[in-house]
Chain A
Amino acid sequence: DVKVTQSSRYLVKRTGEKVFLECVQDMDHENMFWYRQDPGLGLRLIYFSYDVKMKEKGDIPEGYSVSREKKERFSLILESASTNQTSMYLCASSLDRTSGANVLTFGAGSRLTVL
């Protein structure tokens, strides 16, 4: 089974801190995604990547950046954390973008609280 591992399940940070959320997948998937989940708002796409060193903005990229230096690793960076970035962050990967039913495999999530 494909495994998507998010390094931290729970984090508590202070306003203004720089925050790194790490995600690693072990099945040589091309595509990687970062979502945040908030009650009543569902899953909102922050950034995604189809290849190493490649990134594209999703629907809510403001306040975030990403890094994909290796195929298996996709990092989400909050340059200066704010309280409105308190959320559940979900990393996902999928095999490639040419297959039809592009099933995403999600990690277990990282619950971030910004005080």
Chain B
Amino acid sequence: DQQVKQNSPSLSVQEGRISILNCDYTNSMFDYFLWYKKYPAEGPTFLISISSIKDKNEDGRFTVFLNKSAKHLSLHIVPSQPGDSAVYFCAALKSRGSTLGRLYFGRGTQLTVWP
């Protein structure tokens, strides 16, 4: 059963506007959350992360928000640029226990930013 869910397989946004990508999780033991970006024919690259003790982390145009009570996180990209068009994967991590170090990934959201 999927422990990390990205319910929107695709999102289309105009250049300059905000892109909001959503992610839900079921396991309350997750204590770190990460976003990866993937271009076609390349491996995923790390974008931004957030610890469960925070509710917001910002890095340039990218901000991740975490709502622990709702088990929900979102990635905001402002302003969106055509080069942001990629598949975005949400991932979660348990930093304690036997599966230490293993990431659980969502199925991804294809973001398309059009001019």
Asked if A102 meets B45 with Cβ closer than 8 Å, knowing A42-B89, A42-B107, the reply is no
- Listed by A's residue number, 20 A-B pairs whose Cβ atoms lie within 8 Å are A31-B101, A33-B102, A40-B9, A40-B107, A41-B107, A42-B107, A43-B44, A48-B102, A90-B44, A94-B101, A101-B49, A101-B51, A102-B93, A102-B101, A104-B36, A105-B46, A108-B41, A108-B43, A109-B42, A111-B41
Residue among B31, B43, B105 facing the most chain A CB atoms (10 A cut-off): B43
Among A40, A92, A97, A103, point to the contact of B100 (Cβ < 8 A): A97
- Closest A residue to B43 by beta carbon equals A106
Question: Shortest distance in angstroms between B101's beta carbon and chain A's nearest beta carbon?
Answer: 3
The 8 A-B residue pairs whose C-beta atoms are closest, nearest first, are: A97-B101, A106-B43, A42-B107, A97-B100, A43-B105, A101-B49, A102-B101, A101-B32
Among B42, B46, B103, B108, point to the contact of A108 (Cβ < 8 A): B42
Question: Shortest distance in angstroms between B47's beta carbon and chain A's nearest beta carbon?
Answer: 10
Measured between beta carbons, the chain A residues less than 8 angstroms from B46 are 103-105
Where the two chains meet, the residues of B that have a C-beta atom closer than 8 Å to any C-beta of A are 6, 9, 31-32, 34, 36, 41-46, 49, 51, 89, 93, 95, 100-103, 105-108
Task: Give the CA-CA distance A44 to B107 in the complex, in Å.
Answer: 9
Measured between beta carbons, the chain B residues less than 8 angstroms from A106 are 36, 43-45
CB <8 Å contact, A102 and B89 = no
Interface size counted on chain A using CB atoms at 8 A: 30
A-B contact sample (18 more), CB < 8 A, given A105-B46, A111-B41: A31-B101, A42-B106, A43-B89, A43-B108, A48-B102, A50-B101, A58-B102, A92-B43, A97-B100, A101-B34, A101-B93, A102-B93, A102-B95, A102-B100, A104-B103, A106-B43, A108-B41, A109-B41
